[in-house]
Structure 1
Amino acid sequence: MSVTDAANASRTRRVRAPSRGRRLTQALVPYAYLSPTLILLMVLMVIPIVMVVGYSLMDAVITARESHFIGLGNYVEILTSSKFRTALANTFWFVAISVVAHMLLGLGFAMLLNSESVSAVTRTVFRTLFVLPWLLTVAIIAILWRLLLNPNGVVNAILSGLGVVSGQHEWLADPDIALAAVTFINIWSGYPFFMISILAGLQGIPKDLYEAAEVDGAGPIRRFWSITLPQLRPIIISMALLDVIWTSQQFALIWMTTGGGPLDRTEVLSTFTYKLAFSEYDFSGASASAVIVLILSMILAFFYVRSQQVRE
Protein backbone atom coordinates (compact mmCIF):
# COMPACT_ATOMS: atom_id res chain seq x y z
CA MET A 1 0.00 0.00 0.00
CA SER A 2 1.38 3.40 -0.92
CA VAL A 3 1.78 6.32 1.44
CA THR A 4 -1.16 8.10 -0.25
CA ASP A 5 -3.48 5.12 0.19
CA ALA A 6 -2.54 4.79 3.86
CA ALA A 7 -3.24 8.47 4.45
CA ASN A 8 -6.64 8.21 2.73
CA ALA A 9 -7.59 5.14 4.81
CA SER A 10 -6.60 6.90 8.04
CA ARG A 11 -8.64 9.97 7.03
CA THR A 12 -11.67 7.75 6.27
CA ARG A 13 -11.48 6.08 9.69
CA ARG A 14 -11.37 9.49 11.37
CA VAL A 15 -14.44 10.65 9.42
CA ARG A 16 -16.44 7.50 10.13
CA ALA A 17 -15.56 7.24 13.80
CA PRO A 18 -17.66 9.74 15.81
CA SER A 19 -15.68 12.19 17.86
CA ARG A 20 -15.65 12.04 21.64
CA GLY A 21 -17.71 15.20 21.88
CA ARG A 22 -20.40 13.77 19.57
CA ARG A 23 -20.58 10.56 21.61
CA LEU A 24 -21.04 12.59 24.78
CA THR A 25 -23.77 14.66 23.14
CA GLN A 26 -25.60 11.55 21.97
CA ALA A 27 -25.41 10.09 25.46
CA LEU A 28 -26.89 13.25 27.00
CA VAL A 29 -29.81 13.57 24.55
CA PRO A 30 -32.17 11.24 26.51
CA TYR A 31 -31.47 13.17 29.71
CA ALA A 32 -32.23 16.44 27.91
CA TYR A 33 -35.69 15.12 27.04
CA LEU A 34 -36.19 13.99 30.64
CA SER A 35 -34.89 17.22 32.18
CA PRO A 36 -38.28 19.06 32.38
CA THR A 37 -39.85 16.14 34.24
CA LEU A 38 -36.81 15.71 36.47
CA ILE A 39 -36.82 19.41 37.33
CA LEU A 40 -40.52 19.29 38.21
CA LEU A 41 -40.00 16.21 40.38
CA MET A 42 -37.09 17.92 42.09
CA VAL A 43 -39.00 21.15 42.77
CA LEU A 44 -42.39 19.65 43.65
CA MET A 45 -41.36 16.43 45.41
CA VAL A 46 -37.72 16.01 46.38
CA ILE A 47 -37.12 19.49 47.81
CA PRO A 48 -40.40 19.57 49.85
CA ILE A 49 -39.73 16.07 51.21
CA VAL A 50 -36.21 17.06 52.27
CA MET A 51 -37.58 20.22 53.91
CA VAL A 52 -40.27 18.30 55.80
CA VAL A 53 -37.73 15.74 57.02
CA GLY A 54 -35.56 18.63 58.20
CA TYR A 55 -38.50 20.30 59.98
CA SER A 56 -39.31 17.03 61.74
CA LEU A 57 -35.89 17.10 63.40
CA MET A 58 -36.30 20.67 64.70
CA ASP A 59 -38.48 22.29 67.33
CA ALA A 60 -40.86 25.22 66.82
CA VAL A 61 -40.19 25.64 63.12
CA ILE A 62 -41.92 28.50 61.27
CA THR A 63 -43.69 29.76 64.42
CA ALA A 64 -40.51 30.75 66.27
CA ARG A 65 -37.64 32.97 65.21
CA GLU A 66 -35.05 30.34 66.07
CA SER A 67 -35.33 26.58 65.81
CA HIS A 68 -33.08 24.03 67.44
CA PHE A 69 -32.14 20.52 66.41
CA ILE A 70 -33.81 17.98 68.72
CA GLY A 71 -33.26 14.79 66.73
CA LEU A 72 -36.03 12.21 67.01
CA GLY A 73 -37.87 14.05 69.78
CA ASN A 74 -40.85 14.91 67.58
CA TYR A 75 -41.16 11.29 66.43
CA VAL A 76 -41.16 10.04 70.02
CA GLU A 77 -43.84 12.58 70.94
CA ILE A 78 -46.03 11.64 67.97
CA LEU A 79 -45.67 7.88 68.38
CA THR A 80 -46.51 8.07 72.09
CA SER A 81 -49.49 10.36 71.54
CA SER A 82 -52.91 8.86 72.26
CA LYS A 83 -54.42 10.90 69.41
CA PHE A 84 -51.93 9.42 66.97
CA ARG A 85 -52.74 5.89 68.10
CA THR A 86 -56.45 6.65 67.71
CA ALA A 87 -55.88 8.02 64.22
CA LEU A 88 -53.75 5.00 63.32
CA ALA A 89 -56.43 2.56 64.57
CA ASN A 90 -59.17 4.46 62.71
CA THR A 91 -57.08 4.49 59.54
CA PHE A 92 -56.49 0.75 59.75
CA TRP A 93 -60.22 0.07 60.29
CA PHE A 94 -61.22 2.48 57.52
CA VAL A 95 -58.72 1.02 55.02
CA ALA A 96 -59.35 -2.65 55.83
CA ILE A 97 -63.15 -2.47 55.57
CA SER A 98 -63.04 -0.26 52.48
CA VAL A 99 -60.59 -2.44 50.54
CA VAL A 100 -62.39 -5.70 51.35
CA ALA A 101 -65.77 -4.22 50.45
CA HIS A 102 -64.38 -2.69 47.24
CA MET A 103 -63.02 -6.07 46.22
CA LEU A 104 -66.19 -8.03 47.00
CA LEU A 105 -68.58 -5.51 45.44
CA GLY A 106 -66.35 -5.00 42.42
CA LEU A 107 -66.04 -8.74 41.85
CA GLY A 108 -69.78 -9.33 42.28
CA PHE A 109 -70.89 -6.55 39.97
CA ALA A 110 -68.22 -7.41 37.41
CA MET A 111 -69.41 -11.02 37.24
CA LEU A 112 -73.00 -9.80 36.91
CA LEU A 113 -72.07 -7.52 34.00
CA ASN A 114 -70.04 -10.32 32.39
CA SER A 115 -72.80 -12.92 32.72
CA GLU A 116 -74.39 -14.13 29.49
CA SER A 117 -77.69 -14.72 31.29
CA VAL A 118 -78.20 -10.93 31.43
CA SER A 119 -79.29 -9.25 28.22
CA ALA A 120 -77.08 -6.71 26.48
CA VAL A 121 -79.51 -3.85 27.15
CA THR A 122 -79.71 -4.71 30.85
CA ARG A 123 -75.92 -4.92 31.09
CA THR A 124 -75.59 -1.49 29.49
CA VAL A 125 -78.07 0.07 31.91
CA PHE A 126 -76.46 -1.55 34.96
CA ARG A 127 -72.98 -0.66 33.76
CA THR A 128 -73.99 3.00 33.58
CA LEU A 129 -75.60 2.93 37.03
CA PHE A 130 -72.76 1.04 38.69
CA VAL A 131 -70.02 3.30 37.33
CA LEU A 132 -71.87 6.53 38.20
CA PRO A 133 -70.29 7.02 41.69
CA TRP A 134 -66.82 6.97 40.13
CA LEU A 135 -67.72 9.90 37.85
CA LEU A 136 -68.45 12.24 40.77
CA THR A 137 -65.79 14.35 42.45
CA VAL A 138 -65.04 14.00 46.15
CA ALA A 139 -66.65 17.35 46.91
CA ILE A 140 -69.91 16.37 45.22
CA ILE A 141 -69.91 12.97 46.97
CA ALA A 142 -69.37 14.59 50.38
CA ILE A 143 -72.12 17.17 49.86
CA LEU A 144 -74.50 14.57 48.43
CA TRP A 145 -74.14 12.19 51.36
CA ARG A 146 -74.28 14.97 53.94
CA LEU A 147 -77.67 15.88 52.48
CA LEU A 148 -78.79 12.24 52.35
CA LEU A 149 -77.69 11.54 55.95
CA ASN A 150 -79.08 14.80 57.29
CA PRO A 151 -81.64 14.39 60.10
CA ASN A 152 -84.26 15.60 57.61
CA GLY A 153 -82.71 13.69 54.70
CA VAL A 154 -83.86 10.83 52.55
CA VAL A 155 -82.07 8.09 54.51
CA ASN A 156 -83.85 8.94 57.76
CA ALA A 157 -87.17 9.23 55.95
CA ILE A 158 -86.83 5.77 54.37
CA LEU A 159 -85.53 4.05 57.52
CA SER A 160 -88.19 5.70 59.65
CA GLY A 161 -90.86 4.52 57.25
CA LEU A 162 -89.50 0.97 57.51
CA GLY A 163 -89.33 1.20 61.29
CA VAL A 164 -85.56 0.70 61.45
CA VAL A 165 -84.90 4.00 63.23
CA SER A 166 -87.08 6.33 65.19
CA GLY A 167 -86.85 10.08 64.88
CA GLN A 168 -84.21 12.11 63.12
CA HIS A 169 -80.83 10.44 63.50
CA GLU A 170 -77.53 12.31 63.12
CA TRP A 171 -75.49 9.68 61.28
CA LEU A 172 -72.32 11.75 60.84
CA ALA A 173 -72.49 13.26 64.34
CA ASP A 174 -73.06 10.02 66.25
CA PRO A 175 -69.73 8.89 67.79
CA ASP A 176 -70.75 5.24 67.52
CA ILE A 177 -71.76 5.36 63.85
CA ALA A 178 -69.74 8.18 62.25
CA LEU A 179 -66.73 6.05 61.25
CA ALA A 180 -68.97 3.35 59.78
CA ALA A 181 -70.96 6.01 57.88
CA VAL A 182 -67.82 7.57 56.40
CA THR A 183 -66.49 4.13 55.50
CA PHE A 184 -69.78 3.32 53.76
CA ILE A 185 -69.52 6.53 51.73
CA ASN A 186 -65.95 5.67 50.72
CA ILE A 187 -67.04 2.15 49.72
CA TRP A 188 -69.88 3.53 47.61
CA SER A 189 -67.61 5.97 45.81
CA GLY A 190 -64.70 3.58 45.22
CA TYR A 191 -66.06 0.18 44.20
CA PRO A 192 -66.50 1.09 40.45
CA PHE A 193 -62.72 1.18 40.03
CA PHE A 194 -62.50 -2.45 41.14
CA MET A 195 -65.53 -3.37 39.06
CA ILE A 196 -64.13 -1.98 35.81
CA SER A 197 -60.69 -3.54 36.32
CA ILE A 198 -62.08 -6.97 37.25
CA LEU A 199 -64.58 -6.82 34.39
CA ALA A 200 -61.70 -6.27 31.97
CA GLY A 201 -59.92 -9.26 33.53
CA LEU A 202 -63.02 -11.46 33.22
CA GLN A 203 -63.41 -10.61 29.56
CA GLY A 204 -59.79 -11.63 29.00
CA ILE A 205 -60.22 -15.15 30.38
CA PRO A 206 -60.41 -17.68 27.50
CA LYS A 207 -63.83 -19.32 27.24
CA ASP A 208 -62.15 -22.60 26.33
CA LEU A 209 -61.19 -23.03 29.98
CA TYR A 210 -64.81 -22.86 31.11
CA GLU A 211 -65.97 -25.16 28.31
CA ALA A 212 -63.33 -27.76 29.17
CA ALA A 213 -64.21 -27.57 32.86
CA GLU A 214 -67.91 -27.92 32.08
CA VAL A 215 -67.20 -31.01 29.97
CA ASP A 216 -65.30 -32.49 32.92
CA GLY A 217 -68.37 -31.98 35.07
CA ALA A 218 -67.26 -28.92 37.07
CA GLY A 219 -70.14 -26.83 38.43
CA PRO A 220 -70.35 -23.02 38.63
CA ILE A 221 -68.74 -22.83 42.08
CA ARG A 222 -65.93 -25.17 41.07
CA ARG A 223 -65.28 -23.17 37.90
CA PHE A 224 -65.21 -19.96 39.93
CA TRP A 225 -62.62 -21.27 42.42
CA SER A 226 -60.48 -23.17 39.89
CA ILE A 227 -60.58 -20.84 36.88
CA THR A 228 -61.96 -17.37 37.62
CA LEU A 229 -60.10 -16.56 40.84
CA PRO A 230 -56.67 -17.91 39.72
CA GLN A 231 -56.95 -15.93 36.47
CA LEU A 232 -57.95 -12.76 38.35
CA ARG A 233 -55.43 -13.13 41.20
CA PRO A 234 -52.76 -10.79 39.72
CA ILE A 235 -55.36 -8.10 39.02
CA ILE A 236 -56.95 -8.42 42.45
CA ILE A 237 -53.59 -8.23 44.25
CA SER A 238 -52.48 -5.17 42.27
CA MET A 239 -55.79 -3.37 42.72
CA ALA A 240 -55.92 -4.20 46.43
CA LEU A 241 -52.44 -2.75 47.05
CA LEU A 242 -53.27 0.37 45.06
CA ASP A 243 -56.53 0.76 46.96
CA VAL A 244 -54.72 0.42 50.29
CA ILE A 245 -52.34 3.22 49.28
CA TRP A 246 -55.12 5.52 48.06
CA THR A 247 -57.53 4.84 50.93
CA SER A 248 -54.87 5.29 53.60
CA GLN A 249 -54.26 8.80 52.24
CA GLN A 250 -57.94 9.74 52.01
CA PHE A 251 -58.39 13.26 53.33
CA ALA A 252 -60.95 15.29 51.38
CA LEU A 253 -63.89 12.93 51.92
CA ILE A 254 -63.41 12.71 55.70
CA TRP A 255 -62.61 16.38 56.09
CA MET A 256 -65.71 17.49 54.16
CA THR A 257 -68.08 15.10 55.95
CA THR A 258 -67.00 14.91 59.60
CA GLY A 259 -63.75 16.87 59.86
CA GLY A 260 -62.29 14.03 61.92
CA GLY A 261 -65.05 14.22 64.53
CA PRO A 262 -67.07 13.69 66.53
CA LEU A 263 -64.71 13.14 69.47
CA ASP A 264 -61.93 12.04 67.09
CA ARG A 265 -63.98 8.98 66.11
CA THR A 266 -63.24 9.54 62.39
CA GLU A 267 -59.76 10.97 62.88
CA VAL A 268 -57.30 9.37 60.45
CA LEU A 269 -53.61 9.99 59.85
CA SER A 270 -54.21 12.57 57.11
CA THR A 271 -56.63 14.69 59.17
CA PHE A 272 -54.47 14.25 62.28
CA THR A 273 -51.45 15.64 60.43
CA TYR A 274 -53.47 18.50 58.94
CA LYS A 275 -54.85 19.56 62.33
CA LEU A 276 -51.39 19.47 63.90
CA ALA A 277 -50.13 21.89 61.28
CA PHE A 278 -53.03 24.27 60.69
CA SER A 279 -55.09 24.03 63.87
CA GLU A 280 -52.42 23.65 66.56
CA TYR A 281 -49.61 25.23 64.48
CA ASP A 282 -47.25 22.46 65.54
CA PHE A 283 -45.42 22.27 62.25
CA SER A 284 -42.57 20.22 63.70
CA GLY A 285 -44.95 17.53 64.98
CA ALA A 286 -46.95 17.66 61.74
CA SER A 287 -43.73 17.17 59.77
CA ALA A 288 -42.84 14.13 61.89
CA SER A 289 -46.34 12.71 61.37
CA ALA A 290 -46.08 13.35 57.62
CA VAL A 291 -42.73 11.53 57.48
CA ILE A 292 -44.28 8.54 59.28
CA VAL A 293 -47.12 8.49 56.74
CA LEU A 294 -44.54 8.75 53.95
CA ILE A 295 -42.62 5.75 55.30
CA LEU A 296 -45.81 3.69 55.52
CA SER A 297 -46.73 4.68 51.97
CA MET A 298 -43.26 3.76 50.71
CA ILE A 299 -43.60 0.31 52.30
CA LEU A 300 -46.94 -0.20 50.55
CA ALA A 301 -45.49 1.09 47.28
CA PHE A 302 -42.60 -1.36 47.60
CA PHE A 303 -44.99 -4.30 47.87
CA TYR A 304 -46.99 -2.96 44.91
CA VAL A 305 -43.87 -2.74 42.72
CA ARG A 306 -42.84 -6.24 43.80
CA SER A 307 -46.27 -7.59 42.88
CA GLN A 308 -46.02 -5.94 39.45
CA GLN A 309 -42.58 -7.45 38.88
CA VAL A 310 -43.85 -10.91 39.81
CA ARG A 311 -46.84 -10.44 37.52
CA GLU A 312 -44.60 -9.50 34.57
Structure 2
Amino acid sequence: MLSRADLVTNARQSILKGSKSFAAASHLFDRETRERVWLLYAWCRRCDDIIDAQDHGGALGPQDGAAERLLLVREKTTLAFTGRETGDPAFDALGLVARETGLTLDMAGAVIDGFALDATQWQPHSEADLMRYCWHVAGAVGVMMAVVMGVSPDDADTLDRACDLGLAFQLANIARDVEEDDAADRCYIPMDWLADEGIPPGEQMKPHYRPALTRIVARMCDAAHIHECSARIGAARLQPRQRWAVLSAAGIYGEIAREVARRGDHAWDHRTVVSNGRKLGFIGKAAWAALRPVPRSCIAAASARKYSRIDLIALSRR
Protein backbone atom coordinates (compact mmCIF):
# COMPACT_ATOMS: atom_id res chain seq x y z
CA MET A 1 0.00 0.00 0.00
CA LEU A 2 1.17 3.54 -0.69
CA SER A 3 2.46 5.58 2.21
CA ARG A 4 0.25 8.21 3.81
CA ALA A 5 2.29 10.94 2.13
CA ASP A 6 1.78 9.35 -1.29
CA LEU A 7 -1.95 8.92 -0.73
CA VAL A 8 -2.22 12.58 0.29
CA THR A 9 -0.27 13.66 -2.80
CA ASN A 10 -2.55 11.60 -5.05
CA ALA A 11 -5.64 13.03 -3.32
CA ARG A 12 -4.36 16.60 -3.69
CA GLN A 13 -3.87 16.08 -7.42
CA SER A 14 -7.41 14.71 -7.64
CA ILE A 15 -9.06 17.73 -6.01
CA LEU A 16 -6.97 20.18 -8.04
CA LYS A 17 -8.14 18.50 -11.23
CA GLY A 18 -11.70 17.76 -10.18
CA SER A 19 -12.85 20.86 -8.28
CA LYS A 20 -10.97 24.14 -8.21
CA SER A 21 -13.60 25.63 -5.88
CA PHE A 22 -13.19 22.91 -3.24
CA ALA A 23 -9.43 22.97 -3.69
CA ALA A 24 -9.34 26.70 -2.99
CA ALA A 25 -11.50 26.41 0.12
CA SER A 26 -9.56 23.39 1.43
CA HIS A 27 -6.37 25.42 1.80
CA LEU A 28 -8.02 27.37 4.61
CA PHE A 29 -8.09 24.30 6.86
CA ASP A 30 -5.27 23.41 9.20
CA ARG A 31 -2.91 20.89 7.59
CA GLU A 32 -4.35 17.78 9.24
CA THR A 33 -7.95 18.61 8.32
CA ARG A 34 -6.97 19.73 4.84
CA GLU A 35 -5.23 16.43 4.08
CA ARG A 36 -8.15 14.42 5.41
CA VAL A 37 -10.59 16.42 3.30
CA TRP A 38 -8.44 15.69 0.24
CA LEU A 39 -8.39 11.98 1.08
CA LEU A 40 -12.18 11.83 1.35
CA TYR A 41 -12.64 13.90 -1.80
CA ALA A 42 -10.40 11.50 -3.76
CA TRP A 43 -12.71 8.60 -2.92
CA CYS A 44 -15.86 10.55 -3.82
CA ARG A 45 -14.36 11.67 -7.12
CA ARG A 46 -13.11 8.20 -8.01
CA CYS A 47 -16.47 6.56 -7.28
CA ASP A 48 -18.25 9.12 -9.46
CA ASP A 49 -15.76 8.59 -12.28
CA ILE A 50 -16.07 4.81 -12.14
CA ILE A 51 -19.88 4.90 -12.20
CA ASP A 52 -20.05 7.45 -15.05
CA ALA A 53 -17.03 6.08 -16.95
CA GLN A 54 -15.35 9.49 -16.98
CA ASP A 55 -12.19 11.19 -15.80
CA HIS A 56 -12.58 13.80 -13.03
CA GLY A 57 -15.97 14.80 -14.35
CA GLY A 58 -16.14 15.83 -17.98
CA ALA A 59 -17.87 13.90 -20.73
CA LEU A 60 -19.63 10.69 -19.81
CA GLY A 61 -18.14 7.51 -21.20
CA PRO A 62 -20.08 4.47 -22.49
CA GLN A 63 -22.81 3.66 -20.00
CA ASP A 64 -23.07 -0.07 -20.60
CA GLY A 65 -21.83 -2.18 -17.70
CA ALA A 66 -23.04 0.30 -15.06
CA ALA A 67 -24.18 -2.47 -12.70
CA GLU A 68 -20.74 -4.07 -12.80
CA ARG A 69 -19.04 -0.75 -12.12
CA LEU A 70 -21.36 -0.12 -9.17
CA LEU A 71 -20.52 -3.54 -7.74
CA LEU A 72 -16.82 -2.73 -8.09
CA VAL A 73 -17.30 0.49 -6.12
CA ARG A 74 -19.14 -1.33 -3.33
CA GLU A 75 -16.54 -4.10 -3.13
CA LYS A 76 -13.54 -1.77 -3.05
CA THR A 77 -15.21 0.50 -0.50
CA THR A 78 -15.96 -2.44 1.78
CA LEU A 79 -12.39 -3.66 1.38
CA ALA A 80 -11.06 -0.20 2.25
CA PHE A 81 -12.81 -0.33 5.63
CA THR A 82 -11.03 -3.58 6.48
CA GLY A 83 -7.70 -1.75 6.28
CA ARG A 84 -6.41 -3.91 3.45
CA GLU A 85 -4.96 -2.64 0.18
CA THR A 86 -7.60 -2.17 -2.53
CA GLY A 87 -5.37 -1.70 -5.56
CA ASP A 88 -6.70 1.83 -6.06
CA PRO A 89 -5.16 4.84 -4.23
CA ALA A 90 -8.51 6.63 -3.93
CA PHE A 91 -10.09 3.71 -2.06
CA ASP A 92 -6.96 3.28 0.04
CA ALA A 93 -7.33 6.98 0.87
CA LEU A 94 -10.83 6.32 2.19
CA GLY A 95 -9.55 3.48 4.36
CA LEU A 96 -6.87 5.74 5.77
CA VAL A 97 -9.13 8.67 6.60
CA ALA A 98 -11.74 6.31 8.06
CA ARG A 99 -9.16 4.88 10.46
CA GLU A 100 -8.06 8.37 11.46
CA THR A 101 -11.52 9.88 12.00
CA GLY A 102 -14.12 7.19 12.65
CA LEU A 103 -15.98 7.30 9.34
CA THR A 104 -18.16 4.20 8.96
CA LEU A 105 -19.11 1.91 6.12
CA ASP A 106 -22.75 2.93 6.59
CA MET A 107 -21.81 6.55 5.92
CA ALA A 108 -20.02 5.56 2.74
CA GLY A 109 -22.89 3.28 1.78
CA ALA A 110 -25.33 6.20 1.83
CA VAL A 111 -23.18 7.96 -0.77
CA ILE A 112 -22.87 4.85 -2.94
CA ASP A 113 -26.66 4.52 -2.94
CA GLY A 114 -26.72 7.83 -4.83
CA PHE A 115 -24.31 6.47 -7.43
CA ALA A 116 -26.66 3.50 -7.74
CA LEU A 117 -29.49 5.86 -8.74
CA ASP A 118 -27.33 7.38 -11.46
CA ALA A 119 -26.36 3.93 -12.69
CA THR A 120 -30.04 3.19 -13.45
CA GLN A 121 -30.71 6.45 -15.36
CA TRP A 122 -33.09 7.43 -12.56
CA GLN A 123 -35.17 10.64 -12.63
CA PRO A 124 -37.04 12.12 -9.67
CA HIS A 125 -40.82 12.16 -9.86
CA SER A 126 -41.33 14.58 -6.97
CA GLU A 127 -39.52 17.17 -4.88
CA ALA A 128 -39.05 14.54 -2.19
CA ASP A 129 -37.33 12.30 -4.75
CA LEU A 130 -35.04 15.15 -5.75
CA MET A 131 -34.05 15.84 -2.17
CA ARG A 132 -33.50 12.14 -1.49
CA TYR A 133 -31.12 12.03 -4.45
CA CYS A 134 -29.31 15.15 -3.23
CA TRP A 135 -28.99 13.54 0.21
CA HIS A 136 -27.22 10.52 -1.20
CA VAL A 137 -24.84 12.22 -3.63
CA ALA A 138 -24.01 15.31 -1.59
CA GLY A 139 -25.73 15.58 1.80
CA ALA A 140 -24.20 12.31 2.97
CA VAL A 141 -20.82 13.56 1.79
CA GLY A 142 -21.36 16.67 3.90
CA VAL A 143 -21.93 14.45 6.94
CA MET A 144 -18.70 12.57 6.23
CA MET A 145 -16.82 15.85 5.80
CA ALA A 146 -18.16 17.05 9.15
CA VAL A 147 -16.87 13.91 10.87
CA VAL A 148 -13.51 14.43 9.17
CA MET A 149 -13.48 17.93 10.72
CA GLY A 150 -14.04 16.45 14.15
CA VAL A 151 -17.80 16.76 14.58
CA SER A 152 -19.09 13.98 16.81
CA PRO A 153 -21.33 11.39 15.13
CA ASP A 154 -23.69 12.00 18.07
CA ASP A 155 -24.05 15.73 17.29
CA ALA A 156 -27.19 15.26 15.24
CA ASP A 157 -28.04 18.91 14.63
CA THR A 158 -24.56 19.89 13.42
CA LEU A 159 -24.56 16.87 11.11
CA ASP A 160 -27.95 18.05 9.83
CA ARG A 161 -26.37 21.41 8.97
CA ALA A 162 -23.42 19.72 7.27
CA CYS A 163 -25.89 17.70 5.22
CA ASP A 164 -27.64 20.95 4.27
CA LEU A 165 -24.45 22.37 2.81
CA GLY A 166 -24.13 19.31 0.59
CA LEU A 167 -27.76 19.69 -0.47
CA ALA A 168 -27.16 23.34 -1.34
CA PHE A 169 -24.13 22.42 -3.43
CA GLN A 170 -25.98 19.71 -5.33
CA LEU A 171 -29.02 21.86 -6.03
CA ALA A 172 -26.69 24.54 -7.42
CA ASN A 173 -24.98 21.94 -9.59
CA ILE A 174 -28.28 20.65 -10.96
CA ALA A 175 -29.50 24.17 -11.73
CA ARG A 176 -26.27 25.03 -13.53
CA ASP A 177 -25.95 21.76 -15.44
CA VAL A 178 -29.48 21.31 -16.82
CA GLU A 179 -28.26 21.57 -20.40
CA GLU A 180 -25.22 19.32 -19.86
CA ASP A 181 -27.41 16.70 -18.19
CA ASP A 182 -29.91 16.88 -21.04
CA ALA A 183 -27.11 16.25 -23.55
CA ALA A 184 -26.26 13.11 -21.55
CA ASP A 185 -29.94 12.00 -21.50
CA ARG A 186 -30.25 12.79 -17.81
CA CYS A 187 -32.69 15.03 -16.00
CA TYR A 188 -32.78 15.76 -12.28
CA ILE A 189 -35.75 18.11 -12.41
CA PRO A 190 -38.75 16.42 -10.76
CA MET A 191 -41.35 15.26 -13.26
CA ASP A 192 -44.01 16.93 -11.11
CA TRP A 193 -42.28 20.29 -11.54
CA LEU A 194 -42.09 19.83 -15.30
CA ALA A 195 -45.78 18.89 -15.43
CA ASP A 196 -46.74 21.93 -13.34
CA GLU A 197 -45.10 24.14 -15.97
CA GLY A 198 -46.50 22.21 -18.92
CA ILE A 199 -43.15 20.85 -20.08
CA PRO A 200 -43.32 17.32 -21.56
CA PRO A 201 -40.65 14.89 -20.31
CA GLY A 202 -37.38 15.28 -22.17
CA GLU A 203 -38.30 18.61 -23.75
CA GLN A 204 -37.08 20.98 -21.06
CA MET A 205 -34.37 22.47 -23.28
CA LYS A 206 -36.70 23.30 -26.18
CA PRO A 207 -36.49 27.09 -26.76
CA HIS A 208 -40.23 27.71 -26.36
CA TYR A 209 -40.12 26.18 -22.86
CA ARG A 210 -37.25 28.39 -21.70
CA PRO A 211 -39.39 30.79 -19.58
CA ALA A 212 -41.02 27.84 -17.81
CA LEU A 213 -37.63 26.16 -17.25
CA THR A 214 -36.31 29.42 -15.83
CA ARG A 215 -39.11 29.46 -13.24
CA ILE A 216 -38.35 25.86 -12.28
CA VAL A 217 -34.65 26.55 -11.87
CA ALA A 218 -35.35 29.68 -9.84
CA ARG A 219 -37.32 27.44 -7.48
CA MET A 220 -34.32 25.12 -7.23
CA CYS A 221 -31.97 28.03 -6.56
CA ASP A 222 -34.27 29.25 -3.79
CA ALA A 223 -34.06 25.81 -2.18
CA ALA A 224 -30.26 25.93 -2.47
CA HIS A 225 -30.24 29.28 -0.66
CA ILE A 226 -32.39 27.94 2.19
CA HIS A 227 -30.04 25.00 2.74
CA GLU A 228 -26.96 27.21 2.46
CA CYS A 229 -28.36 29.42 5.23
CA SER A 230 -29.05 26.39 7.39
CA ALA A 231 -25.47 25.20 6.86
CA ARG A 232 -24.12 28.57 7.99
CA ILE A 233 -25.77 27.99 11.37
CA GLY A 234 -23.85 24.74 11.78
CA ALA A 235 -20.60 26.30 10.57
CA ALA A 236 -20.70 28.68 13.54
CA ARG A 237 -19.99 25.66 15.80
CA LEU A 238 -16.77 24.67 14.05
CA GLN A 239 -13.21 25.64 14.91
CA PRO A 240 -12.21 29.06 13.44
CA ARG A 241 -10.22 27.82 10.44
CA GLN A 242 -12.78 25.16 9.68
CA ARG A 243 -15.54 27.74 9.90
CA TRP A 244 -13.65 30.00 7.49
CA ALA A 245 -13.18 27.18 4.97
CA VAL A 246 -16.80 26.05 5.13
CA LEU A 247 -18.14 29.59 4.80
CA SER A 248 -15.83 30.18 1.85
CA ALA A 249 -17.10 27.08 0.08
CA ALA A 250 -20.69 28.06 0.89
CA GLY A 251 -20.16 31.51 -0.57
CA ILE A 252 -18.48 30.26 -3.74
CA TYR A 253 -21.00 27.54 -4.46
CA GLY A 254 -23.89 29.73 -3.36
CA GLU A 255 -22.79 32.24 -5.97
CA ILE A 256 -23.23 29.60 -8.67
CA ALA A 257 -26.91 29.25 -7.77
CA ARG A 258 -27.33 33.01 -7.43
CA GLU A 259 -25.71 33.63 -10.82
CA VAL A 260 -27.89 31.02 -12.52
CA ALA A 261 -30.97 32.71 -11.04
CA ARG A 262 -29.75 36.17 -12.11
CA ARG A 263 -29.18 35.06 -15.71
CA GLY A 264 -32.76 33.88 -16.07
CA ASP A 265 -33.45 32.69 -19.61
CA HIS A 266 -29.75 33.04 -20.47
CA ALA A 267 -28.51 30.79 -17.67
CA TRP A 268 -27.33 28.11 -20.10
CA ASP A 269 -25.83 30.30 -22.83
CA HIS A 270 -22.48 29.35 -21.30
CA ARG A 271 -21.46 27.44 -18.20
CA THR A 272 -21.70 29.40 -14.96
CA VAL A 273 -18.36 29.61 -13.18
CA VAL A 274 -16.94 31.75 -10.38
CA SER A 275 -13.70 33.41 -11.44
CA ASN A 276 -10.56 33.17 -9.33
CA GLY A 277 -10.87 36.83 -8.44
CA ARG A 278 -14.41 36.39 -7.20
CA LYS A 279 -13.38 33.28 -5.27
CA LEU A 280 -10.78 35.35 -3.45
CA GLY A 281 -13.49 37.88 -2.70
CA PHE A 282 -15.72 35.22 -1.14
CA ILE A 283 -12.79 33.87 0.86
CA GLY A 284 -12.22 37.37 2.23
CA LYS A 285 -15.89 37.83 3.06
CA ALA A 286 -15.92 34.45 4.77
CA ALA A 287 -13.01 35.47 7.01
CA TRP A 288 -15.11 38.39 8.27
CA ALA A 289 -18.28 36.30 8.51
CA ALA A 290 -16.43 33.68 10.56
CA LEU A 291 -15.87 36.28 13.27
CA ARG A 292 -19.48 37.39 13.48
CA PRO A 293 -22.79 35.83 14.58
CA VAL A 294 -24.97 34.18 11.95
CA PRO A 295 -27.10 36.96 10.40
CA ARG A 296 -30.74 37.01 11.47
CA SER A 297 -31.78 36.98 7.80
CA CYS A 298 -29.93 33.69 7.38
CA ILE A 299 -31.60 32.15 10.43
CA ALA A 300 -35.00 33.25 9.13
CA ALA A 301 -34.32 31.77 5.68
CA ALA A 302 -33.13 28.50 7.21
CA SER A 303 -36.46 28.10 9.02
CA ALA A 304 -38.06 27.45 5.62
CA ARG A 305 -36.14 24.17 5.23
CA LYS A 306 -38.61 21.41 4.37
CA TYR A 307 -36.42 18.32 4.69
CA SER A 308 -34.01 17.50 7.49
CA ARG A 309 -31.32 14.83 7.28
CA ILE A 310 -33.51 12.49 9.32
CA ASP A 311 -36.41 13.05 6.91
CA LEU A 312 -34.20 12.21 3.96
CA ILE A 313 -32.80 9.08 5.58
CA ALA A 314 -36.38 7.94 6.20
CA LEU A 315 -37.30 8.63 2.56
CA SER A 316 -34.32 6.62 1.35
CA ARG A 317 -35.52 3.56 3.28
CA ARG A 318 -38.99 3.46 1.74
Larger Rg: 1
Larger helix share, 1 or 2: 1
Output the TM-score relative to the length of structure 1: 0.30
